[in-house]
Amino acid sequence: MAKMSSPTETERCIESLIAVFQKYAGKDGNKTNLSKTEFLSFMNTELAAFTKSQKDAGVLDRMMKRLDVNSDGQLDFQEFLNLIGGLAVACHESLTSSRKFI
């Protein structure tokens, strides 16, 4: 985005989400999709705190399957955003529900 002023927080987020997707999608083969290996690499690096907190070893497999809406064994950018959105909603709900008890 070519602009004179510095980006707002929301613009920075949009740029970051694109950059992080391209970083992991570019690790092998098709650069416009996350393969299962690239998805695992993303989850174990960018969302390591979440991933390590999961006691069930099959959770990433199930997440990949649920996110892969068109069942092509890969995640495109829209499918990747559904993951980010799902985590953000869970985070937001946990914050707003805990506030009710304060």
| Chain residues that interact with a copy of itself, rule: CB under 8 A | 1, 3, 5, 8-21, 32, 42, 45-49, 77-78, 81-82, 84-85, 87-89, 91-92, 95-96
- Rounded to whole angstroms, how far apart are CA atoms 74 and 15? 22
Distance in Å, CB of 97 to a copy of itself, minimum: 11
Is the C-alpha dihedral spanning 7, 48, 56, 32 positive or negative?
A: positive
Distance in Å, CB of 102 to a copy of itself, minimum: 14
Residue type, 86: G
55 within 8 A of 91, measured Cβ to Cβ: no
Q: Which is nearer to a copy of itself, 62 or 92 (CB)?
A: 92
